[in-house]
Amino acid sequence: MQTRRLALFVAAMAGVIAAPLPFPVAALAADAATMQPKEGWYKALVDFDFMRQNVDIPLKKGVMIIDSRPAARQYDPGHIPGAVNIPDSQFDKQVAKLPADKATLLLFYCGGVDCMLSHNSAFKAEKLGFTNIRVYPSGMPDWKAKGGPISVSAAFIQKLIDDKAAYVLIDARPKRVADKGMIPTAINISDTEFDKHVDKLPTDKAMPLIYYCGGLECVLSDKSAEKARKLGYTNVLTYPPGYPEWEKLHGAPAPAAAGGSGAAGGAAGGAAAAAALVPGKEKGTVTVASFEQVWKTNPGSVMLVDVRDAKEFAAGTIKGAVNIPMNELEKKISALPTDKPVVFVCGTGARSGEAYDTVKLLGGKVQASFIDADIKFNADGSYAMTAKK
């Protein structure tokens, strides 16, 4: 009897060991050996290799990749192919984007190891009952640095069209299909005839090339994008949802390109300039140097708002800043002054940029701007601020 029980136990354990796991064990083992979780991080972490195995067009079944960064400033101009955008500050409003199957592998990422948005969203997803959640803490900076493919959104393409920017938009579908309707400004280079029409590509290898085709099940744009990279083009992007999404958003046939309103750069507001805040390259930003000069000589002339979560704020912030977490800002806009500039800050420029966009949309006469920089906050109120290049 004892021998039989032992045999049954051994057989049962063998079955458990042999059972397939919903994720590669080797990848997670590598993560555990190389990553040191920080305070507040989600417990289950993955690296670039694990992400790369799960990034594909057509989309992998049973997997959803979620970009927790703000849409316009972060997700739209560059994200991991196939990723769904659910900004952490909008998580509760956009839970309908999550899959019905709670066992789906959810892969969250944001702006790198100093960005908490993906971790915050992962915890929220766990509370909703999802059981297979991972966070890619190195996020978009690591993905770009290691040569991962990058996609853009329909909103970003529309902005390029409106701004009359320098880019080449390429429809990789067969000519007979593309002739029925293309995105405005696009040229048609069928993937099957790529080699015959390389002369249509720009001589400038740094020119942005954006490939699209027939939607998330179509591989033609990915194939053409890879061919362009092999030719030496260094800024190759894709728009995976392709013409089906564009047609749904803008109708068919595709509308003519709208008139542009100029480049994205601009002033942060007349009053901000009067307070000696100098506009940065990105619309709505102020330069690090001008902010630091104002904050040193006349801090009372501006209101500095830290839009990170209360826990992050308590651990360290810029002395004199007030805390209005990004997910509370919409309700507290009326508390912002209109008689002096309001400058938003966070750790990476992601949430502060989203705060600026929110206030410009809903804040009336609030003179808003933000700092697009990597900021290290110390408990004693000191900080180190490095402007984005």
pLDDT given for residue 281 in this prediction: 87
Question: Which two structure tokens, joined as six digits, stand for 170?
Answer: 């390429």
Q: What average pLDDT score do residues 343-362 get?
A: 92
Q: Report the Cα–Cα distance between both ends of the chain, in Å, rounded.
A: 72
Q: Around Cβ 50, how many Cβ atoms within 10 Å?
A: 20
Helix, strand, coil % (nearest 5) of the chain? 40, 15, 45
The H or E element spanning position 175 is: helix 175-178
- Rounded to a whole number of angstroms, the CA Rg of the chain reads 24
pLDDT given for residue 363 in this prediction: 81
**DSSP letter, residue 255:** P
Q: What average pLDDT score do residues 293-315 get?
A: 92
Q: Which residues contact 76 (CB under 8 A, 6 or more apart)?
A: 152, 153, 155, 156, 159
Q: Which amino acid appears at position 11 of this protein?
A: A
H helix runs in 194-349, sequence order: 220-230, 242-250, 270-274, 288-297, 310-315, 326-332
pLDDT reading at 384 higher than 70:
yes
Burial 15-38 (b: 16+ CB within 10 A, else e): eeeeeeeebeeebbeebeeeeeee
Pairing verdict, β 342-345 and 373-377:
unpaired
Closest Cα to residue 115, out of 345, 326, 374?
A: 374
Q: Percent of the chain beyond pLDDT 70?
A: 85
Write out pLDDT tens, residues 204-216: 999 999 999 999 9
Nearest-angstrom CA–CA distance, 389 and 386: 9
Question: Which two structure tokens, joined as six digits, stand for 30?
Answer: 């590598």
Q: Average pLDDT, whole number, for the chain?
A: 86
pLDDT reading at 135 higher than 80:
yes
Predicted TM-score of the model (pTM): 0.77
Torsion over CA: 41, 43, 49, 52 (sign) = negative
Q: Which residues contact 155 (CB under 8 A, 6 or more apart)?
A: 71, 72, 76
Pairing verdict, β 236-238 and 150-151:
parallel
pLDDT given for residue 27 in this prediction: 42
The H or E element spanning position 25 is: helix 25-34
Phi and psi angles of residue 84, each rounded to the nearest 5 degrees, phi first: -95, 140
pLDDT reading at 354 higher than 50:
yes
Q: How far is CA 5 from the centre of its chain?
A: 54
pLDDT given for residue 168 in this prediction: 96
Nearest-angstrom CA–CA distance, 19 and 13: 10
pLDDT given for residue 35 in this prediction: 66
Q: What average pLDDT score do residues 120-135 get?
A: 98
Position of tokens 């101009």? 77
**DSSP letter, residue 381:** S
Q: Which domains does the chain have, with CATH numbers?
A: 18-145 (3.40.250.10), 152-250 (3.40.250.10), 270-387 (3.40.250.10)
pLDDT given for residue 254 in this prediction: 39
Q: Is 145 helix (H, G, I), strand (E, B) or coil?
A: helix
pLDDT given for residue 34 in this prediction: 55
Q: Is 270 helix (H, G, I), strand (E, B) or coil?
A: helix
Q: Is 51 helix (H, G, I), strand (E, B) or coil?
A: helix
Write out pLDDT tens, residues 241-300: 999 999 999 886 533 333 333 333 333 333 333 347 999 988 899 999 999 999 988 888
pLDDT given for residue 320 in this prediction: 94
